[in-house]
């Protein structure tokens, strides 16, 4: 069971960014759930990432803490997960 979800954008170079989804379990261990490479932290990339995670079985059956790096695009991706 996941207790928190962390979405973070990491700039790898001038033209390449990755958005990473980390699941945090009850013991505080972080697990890389998935990542997407792109040119920026866009809403489309965040939605693609979270859509893939939902297809792979990521579910939110309880209150989930979502940690974001402040990007509006990542906020949109996080909302995709918590909507039932």
Question: Could you read off the pLDDT of 2-44 as tens digits, one per residue?
Answer: 888 888 888 899 999 888 889 888 899 999 999 988 887 677 7
- Domain boundaries of the chain, sorted by first residue: 2-82
- pLDDT (0 to 100) of residue 84: 47
Q: Report strand pairing: 2-13 vs 65-68.
A: parallel
Q: Where residue 74 falls among pLDDT bands split at 50, 70, 90?
A: low
Q: pTM of whole model > 0.85? A: no
Q: Where residue 53 falls among pLDDT bands split at 50, 70, 90?
A: confident
- pLDDT (0 to 100) of residue 80: 52
CATH 3.40.605.10 fits 2-82, yes or no: no
Alpha helices in the chain (DSSP H): 43-55, 72-82
C-alpha distance from residue 55 to each of 28, 29, 59, 71 (Å): 24, 22, 9, 24
């Amino acid at each position: 069971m996941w207790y928190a979800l962390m979405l973070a954008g990491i700039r790898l170079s001038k033209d390449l960014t990755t958005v990473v989804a980390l699941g945090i379990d009850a013991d505080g261990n972080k697990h890389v759930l998935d990542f997407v490479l792109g040119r920026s932290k866009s809403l489309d990339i965040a939605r693609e990432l979270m859509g893939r995670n939902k297809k792979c079985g990521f579910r939110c059956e309880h209150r989930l803490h979502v940690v974001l790096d402040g990007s509006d695009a990542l906020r949109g991706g996080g909302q995709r997960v918590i909507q039932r």
